[in-house]
Amino acid sequence: MKSFFSLLPLILLMSILLSACDAESPVAVESTPVFATSELSGGETTVFDASSHAFSTPAPNLSASAFEKHLEGDVEFEANFVTAPAEVNPGLGPIYNNISCINCHSRDGRGRPPKVDEKFVSMLFRLSLPKPADAIDGQPPIPVPGFGTQLNNRAIFGTAPEGKIKIDYTEQTLTTADGTRVHLRYPNYTFTETYQPLPEEVELSPRVAPSVFGLGLLEAIPEDTILAYADEADANGDGISGKPNYVWDVVEQRYTLGRFGWKANQPTLLQQVAAAYHDDMGLTTSLFMTENSAGQSQLTAHDATPEISDEILEVVTFYVQTLAVPARRNVDDPQVKQGEVLFAKAQCASCHVPTLRTGVLAGVPSVSNQTIQPFTDMLLHDMGPDLADNRSDFRANGREWRTPPLWGIGLVRRVNGHTNFLHDGRARDLMEAILWHGGEAAASRQAVEQMSKEERDALIAFLESL
Ligand code: HEC
Ligand code: HEC
């Protein structure tokens, strides 16, 4: 007599066939994606636009007055600043990295490292001194005397920039299990033309500008939801921990959960935007009243009224809170579906969490109570020595980075005309980005190295559909 187990394949096959005809069937089908993904990456804020404007569209569910406010913010986001005194947009510098938000976040998308002999446009460097051995866990970065915590490579007329940086790359090759050779490039940085000597022991963190759409949704994810994914001591033993950053909140005057920036080093979009005006453009706000050049030998700081009013700060914050998320494409393509299963199998989803639910973000109903597919857990992970910047940022240590959201990643080429990924833009395409994963993500990378070419293509097709 045939045992039940030898009949099992037949039973499974029959149930697959049955459930294929009957959508209501409760039988679990093997090929069902492990996570239910839809096209609506941004819930009701999703926009069906796969053009070069895919990241710059207002959320379609804004009220008429919210739409107006968004447009006001858009104008400010694009405003070019100039040296004071001037009629329009004065106050730039004295030292800065760029003259407008949009210059770095081109089309609300992402920046990249300069090509050989190009100037730095959409990438910047954070600096600090090493923390003393007895430092308390989670303390803010220690500014470098005369430089602060960011290298400003440009300055207004009559003032020297803090210094410049040169990048060159070391090429290395990785061979996957099926013998495919993949070329990777590792960046090296050299300081040049610093206006005064930089201390030998300075710590340096390269960062390209990330895209700025969908951020209100990420701000609206309840803290408890994010903390539920944290597993600092890896209690479940899956090799993946996930740790929240806690950073200084200037408005609340206490440490709160960090959400924005490559190391989750900013707690709110309001503070992120104020810090951008301050650190990247040399513009003061009510949050950061002191010029970024304060304390430097060549520059005198002035503490007047903020160069950016609270009204402007608020509309720009609202602007980045209410940019739509582009819809997924080709979700029913068999290759994309295969890639989705492989994404889950390779444990990518342990950090790049597909689906989350937002709570309520005060004043921004369009991003509140949405089911979204950001593909992030908003937590820090040890990504290994190759990606390490060896510079800590509050609780994030020198090897830890926040899982970046993957929504829209397949449209970066169309929007920004490049495919440079990771915090320093070293990856030249999505596969290179994956093959740099180490640390907690080493098993995921190894899984990809073991895949056949067909499977790797499917995984990339899935990422391209996001
Ligand atoms: C010199 C280039 C540059 C300029 C100018 C600039 N940014 Fe950024 N922006 C960056 C970089 C780099 C980061 C990542 C910072 C980090 O990880 O510490 C960033 C991060 C952000 C983030 C967080 C994104 C995320 O996914 O966490 C927002 C929001 C943002 N910028 C908005 C603005 C606004 C608004 C302005 C203008 C007031 C602005 N930026 C000006 C380079 C720039
Ligand atoms: C342990 C957590 C973790 C796992 C597992 C993981 N990632 Fe990541 N991923 C990250 C972090 C953190 C970064 C940012 C690293 C950096 O910029 O240095 C990242 C970056 C990326 C990027 C580039 C994103 C960008 O905005 O530049 C892609 C693409 C990506 N991951 C895909 C994958 C895929 C595919 C898998 C599975 C094979 C995977 N990741 C597994 C944490 C993880």
CA–centroid distance, residue 3 to ligand 1 (Å): 63
| 383 in contact with ligand 2, CB cutoff 6 A | yes
| Cα–Cα separations (whole angstroms), residue 71 to 58, 59, 106, 415 | 8, 11, 17, 20
Reported as a pLDDT band with limits 50, 70 and 90, residue 25 is: very low
pLDDT value at residue 19: 40
CA–centroid distance, residue 406 to ligand 2 (Å): 8
Reported as a pLDDT band with limits 50, 70 and 90, residue 135 is: confident
Tell me which amino acid residue 254 is.
Answer: R
Mean pLDDT of 171-191: 95
Mean pLDDT of 292-310: 81
CA–centroid distance, residue 131 to ligand 2 (Å): 27
pLDDT value at residue 304: 72
Mean pLDDT of 133-146: 91
pLDDT value at residue 383: 98
CA–centroid distance, residue 444 to ligand 1 (Å): 29
Reported as a pLDDT band with limits 50, 70 and 90, residue 440 is: very high
For residue 163, pLDDT beyond 90: yes
Name the residue at shortest CA distance from atom 10 of ligand 2.
403
Alpha-carbon distance of 321 to 215, in angstroms, equals 5
Question: What are the pLDDT digits (tens) for 334-345?
Answer: 999 999 999 999
Tell me which amino acid residue 39 is.
Answer: E
Percent of the chain whose pLDDT exceeds 70: 91
SS (H, E, C) the chain: CCCHHHHHHHHHHHHHHHHHHCCCCCCCCCCCCCCCCCCCCCHHHEECCCCCCCCCCECCCCCHHHHHHHHHHHHHHHCCCCCCCCCCCCCCCCEECCCCHHHHCHHHCCCCCCCCCCCCCCEEEEEEECCCCCCCCCCCCECECCCECECCCEECCCCCCCCEEEEEEEEEEEECCCCCEEEEEEEEEEEECCCCCCCCCCEEEEEECCCCCCHHHHHCCCHHHHHHHCCCCCCCCCCCCCECCEEEECCCCEEEECCECCCCCECCHHHHHHHHHHHHHCCCCCCCCCCCCCCCCCCCCCCCCCCCCHHHHHHHHHHHHCECEECCCCCCCHHHHHHHHHHHHCCHHHCCCCCEECCCCCCCHHHCCCEECCCCCCCEEECCCCCCCCCCECCECCCEEECCCCCCHHHHHHHHCCCCECCCCCECCHHHHHHCCCHHHHHHHHHHHHCCHHHHHHHHHHHHCC
Per the CB < 8 A criterion, the answer to whether 341 and 31 are in contact is yes
pLDDT value at residue 172: 95
Mean pLDDT of 174-186: 95
Residue with the bigger pLDDT between 15 and 59: it is 59
CA–centroid distance, residue 304 to ligand 1 (Å): 25
Question: What are the pLDDT digits (tens) for 242-269?
Answer: 999 999 999 999 999 999 999 999 999 9
| Cα–Cα separations (whole angstroms), residue 153 to 31, 99, 103, 135, 423 | 52, 12, 15, 30, 19
> Could you tell me which of 445, 422, 459, 464 has the C-alpha nearest to residue 240?
445
CA–centroid distance, residue 168 to ligand 2 (Å): 23
Reported as a pLDDT band with limits 50, 70 and 90, residue 34 is: low
Residues near 254 by Cβ (< 8 Å), separated by ≥ 6? 248
Ligand that lies nearest to the alpha carbon of residue 315, given by its number in the listed order: 1
For residue 233, pLDDT beyond 60: yes
| 448 in contact with ligand 2, CB cutoff 6 A | yes
pLDDT value at residue 117: 82
CA–centroid distance, residue 209 to ligand 1 (Å): 6
| 209 in contact with ligand 2, CB cutoff 6 A | no
Of 216-225, 292-301, 362-371, 438-447, the range with the lowest mean pLDDT is: 292-301
Mean pLDDT of 128-138: 90
Of 157-161, 206-210, 212-216, 254-258, the range with the lowest mean pLDDT is: 157-161
CA–centroid distance, residue 360 to ligand 1 (Å): 24
Question: Would strands 123-128 and 371-372 be described as parallel, antiparallel, or unpaired?
Answer: unpaired
For residue 14, pLDDT beyond 70: no
| 347 in contact with ligand 2, CB cutoff 6 A | yes
pLDDT value at residue 85: 87
| Cα–Cα separations (whole angstroms), residue 222 to 217, 229, 401 | 10, 12, 20
Ligand that lies nearest to the alpha carbon of residue 426, given by its number in the listed order: 2
Alpha-carbon distance of 340 to 326, in angstroms, equals 18
Residue whose structure tokens are 């959409």 = 122
Question: What are the pLDDT digits (tens) for 69-119?
Answer: 999 999 999 999 999 888 999 999 899 999 999 999 999 999 999 998 888
Alpha-carbon distance of 327 to 339, in angstroms, equals 18
| 148 in contact with ligand 2, CB cutoff 6 A | no
| 210 in contact with ligand 1, CB cutoff 6 A | yes
Phi, psi of 148 (to 5 degrees): 75, -145
pLDDT value at residue 24: 38
Name the residue at shortest CA distance from atom 32 of ligand 1.
273
Q: Probe ligand 1: pick from 104, 367, 377, max atoms within 8 Å of CB? A: 104
Mean pLDDT, the chain, whole residue set: 91
pLDDT value at residue 151: 96
Name the residue at shortest CA distance from atom 37 of ligand 2.
348
Predicted structure pTM score? 0.92
- Residue 192 pairs in a beta bridge with 164
pLDDT value at residue 455: 98
Task: Please state the separation of Cα 23 from the chain's center in Å.
Answer: 37
Residue whose structure tokens are 């100037």 = 119
| 430 in contact with ligand 2, CB cutoff 6 A | yes
Ligand that lies nearest to the alpha carbon of residue 343, given by its number in the listed order: 2
| 209 in contact with ligand 1, CB cutoff 6 A | yes
